[in-house]
Amino acid sequence: MKLKSIFSNSFGILLSRITGLGRNTLLAMVLGASGYSDMFFVAFKLANMFRRIFAEGAFTQAFMPSFVNAKQKGVFATAIFLRFMLFIVAMSLVVTIFPEIVTKLLAWNWDADKIAQTAPFTAINFWYLDLIFMVTFMGTLLQYREHFITTAMSTALLNISMISALLLFMHSDPKTVIYALSFSVLIGGLLQVLTHIYALKRFNMLRLLMGGWKYRNKKDVSEENKKFTKLFVPSVWGNSAPQFASYLDTFLASFLITGSISYLFYANLLFQLPLGLIAIATASALFPSISKALSRGDEKEAYSNLAKAFWLLAFLLGISAIGGIIFAEPIVWLLFEYGKFTPTMTHDTANVLAMYMVGLLPYGFAKLFSMFLYASHRHTKAAKIATIALVVNMIFSLILMQTMGAMGLALAGSIGGWTLFILTIKEVGFGRLIEILKDKKLIYLLLTLIACGILFWFLNGVFVGWIR
């Protein structure tokens, strides 16, 4: 297990998440959890959803194994880039021409006036997808060279751009603030693109792409394109499942009390912090080496890395989950309760956060184990598992929202996470998990989590009594 790659990736993600928390703390102070914040989150959500489906998720999982095996890497990479850019630009044009129809799909229960107000922001924000695809494409090439920190840290540029917009326009009317935020998203995306171009130049990989432009030949890439498509289609299917679940949360929350969309947004951001910093950083850092190991038939090395990564995630995510559940209210109070973000909003957001944290461990483990499915070209199986987890999530969302509101939607997501983990383990092999658990580290893990639970419970009682 390459700890240097994991830690450099984690450091980059940490910087991005810290600036992200700063951005959202300022956003909460300026807009609170109101109808206006709901408008921005809905407008930004569509671009964010497609970004995770096509750019960060499905593309990377299908492209990396194909790129590893490609004979003419520059030709293959350039052909794939052209195909995707044309498609994404076409999508962006459609959203720009019909923004109200697209916005309605995201917030079905909103009235016509609120849809009309939100539509221009949806059109602006969606162009971020074009920029972030370029970032993801170049970032995947850098991952092949096992360089992760540029991509991990680049999100900080987006956050800094949005923070700058908030500071400059925080005293303006809410609509002006949302316009400023929307354009700052595009500026941040452009900065990310430029940073990746510079990193590719440092690794002399621009020459690879230039060769692909110059020597493109259909015969060189037709077979590799077919293999890529066979992997990419189920990857889209699999990665669409969690993103559709996120869309479903937004859709269902629009039927709940005002602010519910924002409660889910703020709580999910906090949930994503340990998930990204620990689980996603680890899985992303290991994915290239795992793909290479399985490509040359070295399963022993691949599964040895899996075991080491499992225990790293178990300790760090376990402590984070317990801390997130127990300290939910103090965390939200500390980060968001300023300006228009009231104590009631803190309480409601904290309850949603606690429900999300129930699913932190299973989502983290599922991310780790699913890496083996994608590296071994079992994309279709991973997609089927994700679909089953989505159906479970949908069923529990409809049931739990009736009595628990936004909390119920978050808890349903956690239940879906446990389903995803169990089914992924079943496909990889329960024997692999049992073999990993036959280690004295399991006893140390249980003792550590129990001790942390007791300590956190005591400290929370002291802290809540102090702040209230």
Percent helix / strand / coil, the chain, rounded to 5: 90, 0, 10
The CA radius of gyration of the chain, in Å to the nearest whole number, is 22
Number of H helices, E strands in the chain: 21, 0
Residue-by-residue DSSP string for 399-464: HHHHHHTHHHHHHHHHHHHHHHHHHHHHHH-HHHHHHHHSSTHHHHHHHHHHHHHHHHHHHHHHHH
How far CA 109 is from CA of 15, 98, 262, 325, in Å, comes to 37, 18, 16, 31
**Mean pLDDT computed over every residue of the chain:** 82
DSSP letter string over 324-377?
HHHTHHHHHHHHH-STT--HHHHHHHHHHHHHHHTTHHHHHHHHHHHHHHHHTT
For 133, residues 6+ apart whose C-beta sits below 8 A from its C-beta are: 51, 54, 55, 59, 84, 85, 88
DSSP class of residue 257? S
pLDDT at 216 over 60: no
The residue-averaged pLDDT of 80-91 equals 88
Q: Which of 21-30, 225-234, 259-268 has the lowest mean pLDDT?
A: 225-234
Q: Tell me the pLDDT band of 225, cut-offs 50, 70 and 90.
A: low
The pLDDT tens digits for 281-315 are 777 777 777 777 776 666 677 777 778 888 888 89
* pLDDT at site 356: 94
Give backbone dihedrals phi and psi of 2, rounded to 5 degrees, phi first: -90, 95
Tokens of 408: 């119920």
Q: What is the pLDDT of residues 375-415, one digit of tens each?
A: 777 878 888 898 999 999 999 999 998 889 889 999 999 99
| pLDDT for res 341 | 78
For residue range 229-252, list pLDDT tens digits in order. 777 777 777 766 777 787 788 788
Q: How crowded is residue 402: how many other Cβ atoms within 10 Å of its Cβ?
A: 9
pLDDT tens-digit map of 131-155: 988 998 898 888 888 787 888 788 8
Distances (CA, A) of 151 to 17, 146, 357, 375: 13, 11, 26, 20
Predicted TM-score (pTM) of the model is 0.71
pLDDT of residue 421: 93
